[in-house]
Amino acid sequence: MESLPIRVFGDPVLKRVAEEVQDIDGTLADLCGRMLESMYEAPGIGLAAPQVGVSKRFFVYDYGDGPKVLINPEIVESEGEWEYDEGCLSVPGMSWNIVRPKMIHIIGYGLNGEEISIEADELESRLYQHEMDHLDGKLLLDYLDEEQRKEAKKILRQMIMRQGNTGPEGPRKIQFP
């Protein structure tokens, strides 16, 4: 299955609030397969549909126990605080210490229409929260103060002008696409 290019900062699809998935069908399953290809290639542990230009509410991920899909996800509970140096394949080559809830309870649907319910802590919890942000048109830059954001945008603009979609060393190893 052929991978799809990952959209980077500056692409308007990343700022859009994605729409609920209406039909869980073969087309969606194929798209998930191609997104997983892109995610493993990157490599990353999660990839949200808007990152491949599809403004729909689902993401693919692999937290060490195989490829998975979460459709129309919703965080129903969150608790505590946890700081982590978080990066994003759509914001290549950069990362920031960001505080978010430590534990979450997330629900959604799988590709067979089955209900999924996950309670996650720390890094796994961070993965889902990060992907949820993509569905709401939010990027890491939205968590920065004004000065940090200005600096980041400057670097990103220069990088995008110079290199297109990849950074100076080509695609890099960032955990959160």
Residues with a known catalytic role: 131
DSSP 32-80: HHHHHHHHHHTT-SEEEGGGGT--BSEEEE-SSS--EEEEEEEEEEEES
Query: What's the min distance (Å) between Cβ of 114 and Zn ion?
Result: 26
**Residue at shortest CB range from Zn ion:** 88
Q: Indicate whether 35 belongs to the interface with Zn ion (CB under 5 A).
A: no
Query: What's the min distance (Å) between Cβ of 48 and Zn ion?
Result: 7
Query: What's the min distance (Å) between Cβ of 104 and Zn ion?
Result: 17
Handedness of CA 158, 161, 166, 170 (dihedral sign): negative
CA-to-CA distance for 52 and 22, rounded, in angstroms? 19
Q: Would you say 24 or 60 has its CB closer to Zn ion?
A: 60
Q: Would you say 32 or 88 has its CB closer to Zn ion?
A: 88
Q: Indicate whether 152 belongs to the interface with Zn ion (CB under 5 A).
A: no
Query: What's the min distance (Å) between Cβ of 140 and Zn ion?
Result: 7
Number of residues that bind Zn ion (CB under 5 A): 1
Looking at residues 78 to 97 of the shown chain, list those that interact with Zn ion (rule: CB under 5 A): 88
Residues found near Zn ion in the complex (CB under 5 A): 88
